[in-house]
Amino acid sequence: MKKYYLPKDDNGRLVWISNFATKISEYAARLGITPAQIAQVETDRDLFAWIIGFINEQKTNVEALTAFKNQLSEGKLPLSALPIFGIAPPLPPNALNDIFGRVRLMVRAIKGNAALTEAIADALGIIGEESEDDVNTWKPILKVRIEAGSPNILWTKGNSNGIKIWVDRGDGQGFKFLGTDTIPNFLEKHALPAQGQSVLWKYQAIYILDDEEVGEMSDVLEVSVKGRVE
């Protein structure tokens, strides 16, 4: 079993997209990648490198300010000068959100191209390393915490990209798709029953990886929901 090709940590993603953006032009004609797509992924690489660099710079600034605060609080030596930081750099031109959403779509198209070879895939870094973690065995474990009367569906992300959730409201219509959640947990926004009434809501979920459903459907989570006294 291979792990997902895209690293989860920011520094790993920076290394990955730097390699991908550098090498994609070499195989663009063969894989049907347009000049506009190449230009966008290069812009995305530069933008992500910019924000990671800026974050690291701010971490250094915070460390300097913290040292100054500690000197103020308990220091025995004369105060040094207060650290002064420059103005934040402007956002690079042509900056767009969803960098890795775009690159995942490009990788999906590349993987569906008959001209792709294992050597090209390896060069682009779109084949994950071998792992003993079998996505076919993944199964969400759902729990619940009632918050202001509404169910907050608790789940853990693990190596997945998120979950898809279905709900049965006890209205005779069975399970219906509720939504996709990529950041635990999922707080219900559906209206509660009328005051004094209670309904049994049921939930199920399945993990997603690279926008595809993987593994097994969760066990059904049953939640008794009561109308709130206003």
The helix or strand, by DSSP H or E, that contains position 65, with its residue range, turns out to be: helix 35-74
Nearest to 225 by CA among 197, 188, 203, 198: 198
Q: Is residue 131 pLDDT above 60, yes or no?
A: no
Closest CA to 35 of 48, 24, 20, 46: 24
pLDDT at 127: 85
Compute the distance between CA of residue 179 and CA of residue 66 in angstroms, rounded to an integer: 42
Q: In this model, does residue 6 exceed pLDDT 90?
A: no
- Ranges of each domain in the chain: 10-124, 135-226
Q: Which of 209, 205, 218, 204 is nearest to 161 (CA)?
A: 209
- Output the CA angle 221-162-212, nearest 5 degrees: 105
- Tell me what the mean pLDDT of segment 134-161 comes to: 91
pTM over cut 0.85: no
- Tens of pLDDT, residues 15-26: 999 999 999 999
Say what the pLDDT of residue 229 is: 63
Q: According to the model, what pLDDT value does residue 133 have?
A: 65
The confidence score (pLDDT) of residue 79 equals 83
pLDDT at 181: 95
Q: How would residue 175 be classed by pLDDT, with cut points 50, 70 and 90?
A: very high
The per-residue pLDDT for range 207-222, each reduced to its tens digit, is 998 778 989 999 999 9
Class of domain 135-226: mainly beta
* Average pLDDT of the segment spanning 34-43: 95
Residue 45 has a pLDDT of 95
CA distance 190 to 198: 14
DSSP-assigned beta bridge partners for residue 213? 208
Q: Omega before 185 cis (within 30°)?
A: yes
Backbone phi and psi for residue 202, each to the nearest 5 degrees, phi listed first: -120, 140
What does pLDDT average to over the chain? Answer: 89
Taking residues 166-189, report their average pLDDT: 93
pLDDT reported for residue 158: 87
Which amino acid type is present at position 84? I
